[in-house]
A and B are shown apart, each in its own frame.
Chain A
Amino acid sequence: MKNKLQFQWVPAVLFGALALAPNIAFAQDMRGWRETAFVPTPQGEWNGPRLPDGQPDISGHWSNTIGNHNNLTDPQGPLGADDEGPPRENPRSNARQPKPRSERAPSRLSDPADGQVPFQPWARAKQQEFLKYLNNPIKPEYVEPFARCAPGGPSKSFMWHGYEIRQFPGYVVFLFDSGNRVIHLDGKPHLPENLKLWNGDSRGRWEGNTLVVDTTNNNSKARLGRTGEFVSENATVQERIVFDPSGDRFTYNATYTDPTVLTRTFTITIPNRRVTDKTPVDDWNNLTFPAKHAGKEPIIEGYERICTEGNGNHGQVVAVSK
């Protein structure tokens, strides 16, 4: 409807923004905020505020700083539509030349050392099949479920848009752009193991500045990236979310164990940074808006994120190039 803002985020809109935005908002505003390398999380005792129940207060808006979920092992690579690299001459063209691999961000996999998922041979073949048919999904299972408004799963949610963390006694709650997640800190037993969920069933605890989360009951229907990496229903995930002492950054580490698909464990590492009222608004990393109020202090808030019907086609991604 004319003059109405549409905040019903559908993938068509998102992918459209992804394709067009680098020339407009990212290049002018986000360069410098977004990064090309992992910034190590400084170590040290928490010196930020604490909540009454003792949790480090890490509530607020956050975002991944590098790329998105297009390419798991080369997040600023040819399949990764990131803001880095020279602007495209034609924003509708996918022919942007990436920087050399050595100048791009490392693989999301910090372990093993080669940055690749330690797949069993059949699983590697399957991943290659998904990649081959990403833009030509001739079977339903080739459609990346994220394009159907499915949740991203434990790790991929952190590679997508900016998101919000809220904390309460006994809980840390993540409000992602596509799906939401409650981390129980209350020691409650996991759900019965036959209940498999998109975002799994999460139990966490604080170890100093690190939020340690055991995520079971994974249905593993979400892919780990648009490059087709996946795990099975037997996967368990241990996440170690390490905050810096002042709460400006955190490093997300997720170690996957899955004998059905893997030859050994692997760890996904994603750098994240706090989004504040000073962060440029790009409708990507920073999806917040200034709240309307009579006071002078800046208050930012995120609007409702509900992905429903209205999917556009799935193919609007950067083509695989040599």
Chain B
Amino acid sequence: MKVRQTAVQSFVAVLGLALTGAVGVAQTPPAGSNIPRGADGKPDFSGIWQSLSGADYGLEPHLATKDDPPGAGVVEGKVIPYRPEALQQRAKNFATRATADPRHKCFTLGTPRGIYGNEPFQIFQRPRDLTLFFEFGHPVRTINTNGTEHPDGHIDFWLGDSRGHWEGDTLVVDVTDFNGETWLDRVGNFNSDALHLVERWSYVDRNTIRYRATFDDPKTYTKPWSLEVLLYRRLEANVQIIENYCATLDFDEYYPVPPSGGQR
């Protein structure tokens, strides 16, 4: 028999909503058993996912421009705690964003920008790892969940080196080894190669993932900070990750060979 929600429970739920409102993602009861699970019993995140947060237009609260819609922001505490010199760099990035945004160079969006960017990505999951297949640039990020550790030394990866483990039904991913050449959004927010990112992936319900990322980067920020977005499962019958090798568009016109070998 279903237990009716008491007034106290309702009050607690509303209070919870109010307390977490700053991040913009309402807390909901644990997803429990009504979520996809793999043979190993762990939550199975397989599927095509996309953020509707608008985070790529700007992580912090911002008004509209002619190009981009407004947004209430996804940063816990609203603003990113930049070091003074990093704040100057962000201002420079903002001023030159039309050309300096790595997205315009077709560079891989990086981590976590690829997660909340405006194109979908697909997760393939096995007990040993998760394969994240991004549409933009068509790169693949592997989250290893087989007990392996970060490699020794520092390696410059576009997407970082990801090692995950399960805490209950939450996938916790430790990401290091960034190349520092990616941005976090279109308005110039950024990190350095010293970033240490911790992601927490959990189901809200079977078609919604809560994604939380905590940034620790002493070269860029005065203290760690977090963002949170929801990811929605793409359910259209014909949805498919379509290769978007953006970097090839610059020379697209020279190929293939014209029919009958005609000149260009």
Whether A113 sits at the interface, judged by CB under 8 Å, is no
Would A166 and B126 count as touching, CB distance under 8 A?
yes
**Count of inter-chain pairs, beta carbons less than 8 A:** 151
Would B133 and A182 count as touching, CB distance under 8 A?
yes
Would B156 and A292 count as touching, CB distance under 8 A?
no
Would B245 and A198 count as touching, CB distance under 8 A?
yes
**In the complex, what residues of B have CB within 8 A of residue A6's CB?**
156
Can you list, as one digit per residue, whether each of A122-150 has a CB less than 8 Å from chain B (1) or not (0)? 11011000000000000111010100111
Find the residue from B133, B152, B241, B251 having the highest chain A CB count within 10 A. B251
Would B259 and A168 count as touching, CB distance under 8 A?
no
Q: Measured between alpha carbons, how far is A1 from B254 in the docked complex, in Å?
A: 35
Q: How many residues of B contact A (CB 8 A)?
A: 52
Whether B82 sits at the interface, judged by CB under 8 Å, is no
Chain A binding surface, main DSSP class: loop
Q: Measured between alpha carbons, how far is A221 from B106 in the docked complex, in Å?
A: 19
How far does the Cβ of A128 sit from chain B's closest Cβ, in whole Å?
Answer: 11
Given A7-B155, A293-B147, do A168 and B125 touch, yes or no (CB 8 Å)? Answer: yes
Q: Measured between alpha carbons, how far is A188 from B122 in the docked complex, in Å?
A: 16
Would B108 and A306 count as touching, CB distance under 8 A?
yes
Q: Measured between alpha carbons, how far is A11 from B70 in the docked complex, in Å?
A: 41
**In the complex, what residues of B have CB within 8 A of residue A139's CB?**
254, 264
Q: Measured between alpha carbons, how far is A233 from B252 in the docked complex, in Å?
A: 13
Chain B binding surface, main DSSP class: loop
Would A221 and B242 count as touching, CB distance under 8 A?
no
Q: How many residues of A contact B (CB 8 A)?
A: 62
How far does the Cβ of B144 sit from chain A's closest Cβ, in whole Å?
Answer: 7
Would A141 and B254 count as touching, CB distance under 8 A?
yes
How far does the Cβ of A121 sit from chain B's closest Cβ, in whole Å?
Answer: 10
Can you list, as one digit per residue, whether each of B240-260 has a CB less than 8 Å from chain A (1) or not (0)? 111101011001101111011
Of the residues A188, A191, A308, contact of B247 by C-beta under 8 Å:
A308
Would A173 and B133 count as touching, CB distance under 8 A?
yes
Which of B18-26, B55-63, B134-142, B213-221 interfaces with chain A? B134-142
**In the complex, what residues of B have CB within 8 A of residue A188's CB?**
238, 240
Would A292 and B152 count as touching, CB distance under 8 A?
yes
**In the complex, what residues of A have CB within 8 A of residue B241's CB?**
182
Whether A289 sits at the interface, judged by CB under 8 Å, is yes
User: Please, which residue of chain A has its CB at the minimum distance from the CB of B252?
Assistant: A221
How far does the Cβ of B131 sit from chain A's closest Cβ, in whole Å?
Answer: 6
Of the residues A140, A197, A261, A304, contact of B254 by C-beta under 8 Å:
A140
12 interchain pairs, CB-CB under 8 A:
A125-B261, A145-B255, A150-B247, A150-B251, A166-B131, A168-B124, A179-B245, A180-B133, A197-B243, A230-B256, A304-B159, A306-B158
A positions within 8 Å CB-CB of B: 1, 3-8, 52, 122-123, 125-126, 139-141, 143, 145, 148-151, 166, 168-169, 171, 173, 175, 179-180, 182, 184, 188-189, 191, 195, 197-199, 219-222, 230-233, 260-261, 289, 291-295, 299, 301, 303-306, 308-309
Supply 11 further A-B pairs (C-beta < 8 A) apart from A4-B154, A52-B39, A219-B256. Answer: A3-B154, A4-B155, A5-B153, A166-B124, A180-B140, A198-B245, A199-B243, A292-B151, A304-B139, A306-B159, A308-B247
